[in-house]
Every structure is written in structure tokens, then in C-alpha cells.
Amino acid sequence: MRKLYLPCAAIIACIFFMACAGTSSGIKERESVSRDPGVTYELVVLHTNDHHGTTLLKDNEGGLAQRASYIKTVRGGNENVLLLDAGDINTGSALSNMFSAESDILAYNLMKYDAVAMGNHEFDNGLAFFEDQMKQSEFPWISANIKKSDGSYLGAPYITVDYEGFRVGIFGITTLRTTKIASPDKSLKFLDEMETSKQIVQLLKEREKADVIIALTHLGLVKEEDSHITSVELAENVPGIDLIIDGHSHTLLDEPVMAGGIPIVSANEWGRYIGHGVLHIKDGGVTDFSWNSVFVNASDIDNFPPDPEVMHLLAPYVETASLALREVIGAAAQTFEFGDRLSRKKEIALGNLVSDATTWYVRSKGVDVDFAFQNGGNIRTELPAGDITRERIMTILPFDNYIYVLTLKGSDVLALFDFIATIPQGAGGFPQMSKEITYTVNYQTGRVEKLKINGQPVDVSKTYKVATNDYLAKGGDGYEVLKKATDTFNTSITLTNAVIGYIQQLPQPIVPVIDGRITIIGGMEL
């Protein structure tokens, strides 16, 4: 029988003091777990990440009820099973967003997750919102590098779990990119990922007597900017970790990535996969690790029948949401592609639609805006051919951002596009533009060229009105230049509602259009 331990308040208070003062802090060390010499013990580790509110099946894949059935099957056949999630439960489907991910969290409770790391999207809707979610959760949210203004941790920095013959320590780490790509409360302090991890590993080994140390990280395997610490870099610089379970980059792996002798695993996104690892532990150390990713799909009804408990839990949420969300607001003649997050890599018709909807709405209210743009990371999925429902638009644009209008000097508009030239393809800050803008981004020179607004070069003696979302207006995704606006106006309309209104007034069916707003030289082959 296993026992779950959260770190006591005294140990939490002394974590960083302990790192400097050795054993002088006075906190009593725990007893090691008793074990039989030479006996090999086994631990099954199941893990998910980047759920993003994918409550139900998506294209016949994933689904909380299908996930739950697999977890139950594994638990039924194994004595020691650890269930973890590497963060970003929030922000995704219209169903989940409508109920502030309550349905998802309650399903995680039913599945008995042992711990969930804090992802950047846990901070999309303010601190009070997330703290309410933490109260709903019967599992601990963990991050060792996020503290509140009083010096206490927002959640727990780590947990330990005792099994017969060994103890497991699991600590959470959240990317510092959260301060740029989300909206964390200003009272929160984000600590260095590397130094924090080193201190927590030391604590788990020396104080908690953990035999196995797992880092549950929301860092990602893809480097988004020079200062971004990835899970690979963490593995290469922090000894003593036995396994890193990663999220953030939505990476699909066929086998673990090895770095610094540490296996790194990740399970793609949206519950489409469950990572299934097996650790062998002998005499207090890991002797072997095997892993595979399990594809969760409803077509395989033998392995993934919908779990009746989860289905019963979700039923009232689905019924309530379906009435409001299934209203048809238009039709698409063809699919507006999204592919492998193409909104972060090039001009796409869906990005054009969303940006043009922004200028349309602002002008409909009498504001003569010069152009609009949105971050590609704000767009989350494709718009299929056929009927367009409110649910579809809310799923494409899940963040519920408000449209802001900013007044920028011509020199600041030039600085804006200088910054845009530095955003690598694939990063969430890659922009999608309204039809008033044309430019070339030359990745060979690191410059934006041939920039024109309404067919004219930027005039540094003029001011320009720019429409975007509240997240970017406040400097999100590194758009610090927007904070130089001489006037900022909140339209009090969400981007989602603006896009819905725009589609409703267009001739039907709407047609995807790419008209050369963004030209790329020296970029990815797409």
C-alpha cells in the first residue's frame, strides 16, 4: 500500500536556506524506505500533458472517458502505478472554456492523478481563477519555481510517494516563458529553472531520502528564444534526476530523448497519447527504464471503451453547452488550414480572417484603425469546410481576449516590425496580419523588408492606430514596444465575438484567401 506525502510547511520554508546551510537548518531528515537487498521493484508511470480542455473525443482521438478506461486497466494489472500530468489543463475546447475547465478537473479527480505541473496556460485567466481551480482539485498542483508575494509556494514544490521498497520524489518546474506568453499575476515570482531544480533535487535526496526523482516539467523540447530553458538543457545541467516528464512543446515521441544520461518523455497533446513507462528499482536506485506512447482512439473500442463514471460526470456539462454552442453562424466553402500549427509559421487564411475581423469590428464602432494583427499562438485549430458553429470559433480562439486599439508613433511601428523580424517561425508570437499590411521577413538578414501600410511606407512623422488583443497590448509574447502606445483603448468586445459577427455578415459560404500579406525569405520549408 502506497502513501502520498506533501512537503510539510517547515520543509517548504527552509528549502532554499537548506541549499546554503547544509544540515544546519534543524529540519529532521526522514527515514529511508525499508527494502529487501537485491530485490528489484517495479513502478509504472503513466503521464499526459497539454490537455488544453480536450474534454471529449477530437477527431475520434483522445477523450477523458477513453483515457480513464486505459488508466483503470493499467491499475488493475499493476500494483505500483503513478499518474502524472505535465501541465496546461486549461484553454482549449469551447466546452471546457465555458465551465472554466471544471469538467476536466473533476474528471482528473476521478482518475486520481497523483500530481499535475503548472503550465503557462494555467495563468491565462488571473490568479483568483487558478486558485479556485486548485481548490476544486483533489490532486496537488506542483511547481518549485513559482512563489507568492509572501514567499510561500503557489501550490506545492514537490510530492513524495512511498511504495514497498522505494520512495519517489516528484517536483514541478514551470517555464519562465510564462511571464511573456501568459498573464501571471504581478504578485507571483518565477524563479530560475536550473537553480531551483538543483536545490530541489538535493532536498529530495538528502532530506526526503527519495530513491527515484522525477522532474515533472512544463518546459518543452523546442527552444522558442535564446533565454528559453528546455527540458534537454535542464537534463544536461541538473544531475540526480532519474526521469523528466515534459510538456509545453506538444512533442510526439517514439522513444525517450536522452540528455545528460536522463530519459525525457512527453505525450504529444490533447490526451491523444498516454505515456506508459516502467521503472525498475533495486537497492534504492533505478536499474532500467522502458517507455512507449499509447495512442488513445475510440476506434480501438476494446482498449479504449468510454469509462461510465467519467461519461456520467461529463453528461450535464455536455448537455448544457451543446444548446448554446451548436448555433450555426455561417459556412466555409473549403477548409481553412491549420496543419502543424501553421499560424506560427506563415500567412494562413484563418489568420487573415481573424485579423480582418478585428479591423472590421473596430471600424464598425467608428474607430479608423490602420491595421490589425494577432499572434499566431492565439489560433489553435483549423476551420473545417461546412457549417460554422459558435463552438468551432470558440475552439479556434479559446483565450477570450479583448480587442484593444493602440496609438503608436511611426517610429514605434517600425520598431514593432523590427521585433517581428526576430520572432522565429514556430513561436506563438509569429503574427497574422490584416489586409492593410504587406511585408517581407528575411530570416537571412534578420530584417523586415518592403513594409507597407495601405500601400504606403511607414511615415515616422505620423501616428497609427493598431488593433490587437489585450494580451499583446500588455507586452505578451515579447511585444514590449506596444506598451509605448500613446493611447490605449479597450473595446470591451472579445475577439471571439468579433470573429463570429464578422463571419455572419460575410457572403456565404466564406472562402479561404491568402493574398501575400507576409512573404518569407530563408525560413522553414513548409
**What pLDDT score was predicted for residue 12?**
55
Query: Which residue among 259, 281, 299 closes a domain?
Result: 299
Nine-digit cell at 360? 472590421
Return d(Cα 158, Cα 214) in angstroms, integer: 10
Q: Rounded to 10 degrees, what is the CA torsion of 358, 360, 362, 363?
A: 150
Cα-trace Rg, the chain:
24
Residues 277 and 332 in one domain: no
Element (DSSP H or E) covering residue 105: helix 102-111
Q: Answer yes or no: are the C-beta atoms of 97 and 327 closer than 8 Å.
A: no
Each residue's pLDDT expressed in tens, for the chain with a length of 526 residues: 566 777 755 455 544 434 333 333 455 789 999 999 999 999 999 999 999 999 999 889 999 999 999 999 999 999 999 999 999 999 888 889 889 999 999 999 999 999 999 999 999 888 999 999 999 999 999 999 999 999 999 999 999 999 999 999 999 999 999 988 777 999 999 999 999 999 999 999 999 999 999 999 999 998 888 899 999 999 999 999 999 999 999 999 999 999 999 999 999 999 999 999 999 999 999 999 999 999 999 899 988 999 999 999 999 999 998 888 889 999 999 999 999 999 999 999 999 999 999 999 999 988 899 999 999 999 999 999 999 999 999 999 998 788 999 999 999 999 999 999 999 999 999 999 999 999 999 999 999 999 999 999 999 999 999 999 999 999 999 999 999 999 888 887 889 989 999 999 999 999 999 999 999 999 988 8
Q: Other CB atoms closer than 10 Å to residue 49's CB: what's the count? A: 34
Query: Which residue among 299, 314, 340 closes a domain?
Result: 299
Most distant CA atoms of the chain, gap in Å: 79
Return d(Cα 408, Cα 209) in angstroms, integer: 57
Phi, psi of 495 (to 5 degrees): -60, -40
- CA geometry: angle 453, 457, 460, nearest 5 deg: 100
Q: Answer yes or no: are the C-beta atoms of 142 and 159 closer than 8 Å.
A: yes
Q: Which CATH number do you get for residue 59?
A: 3.60.21.10
Nearest to 217 by CA among 175, 249, 268: 175
Residues 262 and 338 in one domain: no
Return d(Cα 102, Cα 98) in angstroms, integer: 9
Return the axis-axis angle of helices 102-111 and 64-77, rounded to nearest 10°: 10
Residues 291 and 338 in one domain: no
Residues 136 and 272 in one domain: yes
Q: Answer yes or no: are the C-beta atoms of 510 and 333 closer than 8 Å.
A: yes
Q: Which CATH number do you get for residue 497?
A: 3.90.780.10
CA 430 to chain centre: 16
User: Based on the number of CB atoms within 10 Å of its own CB, is 522 exposed (0-12), middle (13-18) or buried (19 or more)?
Assistant: exposed
Give a yes or no: residue 30 inside a domain: no
**What pLDDT score was predicted for residue 27?**
59
Residues 294 and 347 in one domain: no
Residues 293 and 442 in one domain: no
pTM (2 d.p.): 0.79
The amino acid sitting at 84 is L
Return d(Cα 453, Cα 436) in angstroms, integer: 6
Query: What is the b/e burial string over 240-277, where b = at least 16 CB atoms within 10 angstroms of the residue's CB?
Result: ebbbbbbbbbbbebeebbebeebbbbbbbbbbbbbbbb
Give a yes or no: residue 14 inside a domain: no
Give a yes or no: residue 264 inside a domain: yes
Give a yes or no: residue 17 inside a domain: no
Residues 332 and 256 in one domain: no
How many domains does the structure of the chain reveal?
Answer: 2
Q: Other CB atoms closer than 10 Å to residue 44's CB: what's the count? A: 17
Query: What is the dihedral sign for C-alpha 10, 16, 22, 25?
Result: negative
What single DSSP character describes residue 508? S
The amino acid sitting at 224 is E
Give a yes or no: residue 360 inside a domain: yes
What does the H/E/C string look like for 225-243?
CCCCCCHHHHHHHCCCCCE
Provide the residue range defining the domain that includes 469.
Answer: 327-521
Residue 195: HSE in the Cβ half-sphere, 13 Å Cα cutoff: 9
Q: Other CB atoms closer than 10 Å to residue 339's CB: what's the count? A: 11
**What pLDDT score was predicted for residue 122?**
95
Residues 212 and 346 in one domain: no
Residues 331 and 295 in one domain: no
Element (DSSP H or E) covering residue 41: strand 40-48
Cis geometry, peptide bond prior to residue 509 (ω within 30 degrees of 0): yes
Residues 480 and 414 in one domain: yes
**What pLDDT score was predicted for residue 25?**
42
Nine-digit cell at 340? 502543424
Return d(Cα 138, Cα 128) in angstroms, integer: 18
Query: Which residue among 299, 316, 345 closes a domain?
Result: 299
**What pLDDT score was predicted for residue 16?**
43
Give a yes or no: residue 34 inside a domain: no
The helix/strand/coil state of 244 is strand
Residues 295 and 379 in one domain: no
Give a yes or no: residue 32 inside a domain: no
Residues 388 and 459 in one domain: yes
Give a yes or no: residue 281 inside a domain: yes
